[in-house]
Amino acid sequence: MRNRKTVAEFFAGIGLMRLGLEEAGWNILIANDIDPLKRKFYEDNFNGDDYHFILEDIHNLTSTQIPSAILATASFPCTDLSLAGRRAGLDGRHSSAFWGFVNIIKGLGAGKPPLILLENVTGFLTSNNGKDFENALLALNALGYAVDAFIVNAAHFVPQSRVRLFIIGKLSELSHIESQVNLFESELRPMKLLAFINSHPKINWSIRTDLPKFPKLKTTLKAIVEDLPKDSALWFNRERTAYFLNQTFDRHKSKIIEQKKKPHYEYYTAFRRVRNGKSMAEVRFDGIAGCLRTPKGGSARQMLLEVGKGEINIRLLTPRECARLMGAKDFIISGTSNEALFGFGDAVCVPVVTWIAQNYLNSEYHKIKISQSLHKRNYVTTA
């Protein structure tokens, strides 16, 4: 199995990490998550001969349950790292699951995967004044991994602003550590991340500087919109639409009224936010949706505005539109609307993962194959 691009997937969610990796030629051997609803989505999309899903708290897993793989992925809970949470950090009830992942990898001993891919919110970088991020990277170092970190906004791939922090760990004896000379601020490593890297020389870094620029966005918000009839119950009625407009900032409302006069539809998105103690509707006019969230409250549900031809039509984004915004247009959606929105709100963006796999993981895999081949050759020669 170690000669194939194999993956042990932790915090698997509904399976979008898997979709992204499979697009780049990786094969999932095992998936793990604690949520039975997410497993249901996963099963509906990946219930083939190679399907192997363990429904369990990661703290209760044993290393003997994990097959030997080239890559281990972990999109561990962001709840305690997010600005929207209470910032309990890696000691919090949810995000402490990271340490369960570390213990699993440690327990694998010589069977540790040569590569690790972690994903989380950018709040991880500043959680507890950066100590959580530092402790996590030092923990990976202690396991034998040199680390790299970078930030990707899904808006380069899909019309959704979704900024996420990625960490790649490479077993030191197998990685070709790149020089850290000439590290400059970039889209991949903006100043806040670059400052962290430069101020933590005791961390065993392995920074790749040869990654390509992100692609230019080719799809628009209009391209992801479901064509729903105007008599659909999903559209707001007149009273609810008027209520929304009354809660909109004056400058946003003026833009909406102006677009209403145009002979074509334009599409915008909006969230409700509390400003100065009042619930307000904030509208985006850049053709990009806001970051999808789990629907834990009314303010977490994103709205779609269809404006033009003398009309202002408003409704909530549908699960299918959310799937398209995550780059999973053909994903099989089951369960209730809220269950689907929870799944997508917690997930990774598919084409972002594919880009990382194609431009980073695949070349690291090639280095691993070369290293393993040389090791075998030297062993045969000296035996």
pLDDT value, residue 276? 77
Is residue 379 predicted with pLDDT exceeding 50? no
Domain that holds residue 124: 6-211+349-382
For 74-83, 113-122, 341-350, which range has the lowest pLDDT when averaged over its residues?
74-83
Residue 10 identity: F
Cα-trace Rg, the chain: 22
Q: What is the pLDDT of residues 59-72, one digit of tens each?
A: 999 999 999 999 99
**In a domain? residue 292:** yes
**In a domain? residue 216:** no
Same domain, 249 and 187: no
pLDDT value, residue 210? 92
Closest residue by Cα to residue 43 from 295, 342, 343, 354 = 343
The kind and range of the H/E element at 270 are strand 266-275
Neighbours of 133 (CB within 10 A): 26
Same domain, 184 and 289: no
- 176 or 107: which leads in pLDDT: 107
Q: Are residues 24 and 354 in contact, defined by beta-carbon separation less than 8 angstroms?
A: yes
Same domain, 197 and 242: no
Same domain, 171 and 55: yes
**Residue 294 has which token pair?**
């789990």
Q: Are residues 50 and 43 in contact, defined by beta-carbon separation less than 8 angstroms?
A: no
Q: Are residues 125 and 154 in contact, defined by beta-carbon separation less than 8 angstroms?
A: no
**In a domain? residue 326:** no
In this prediction the pTM is 0.91
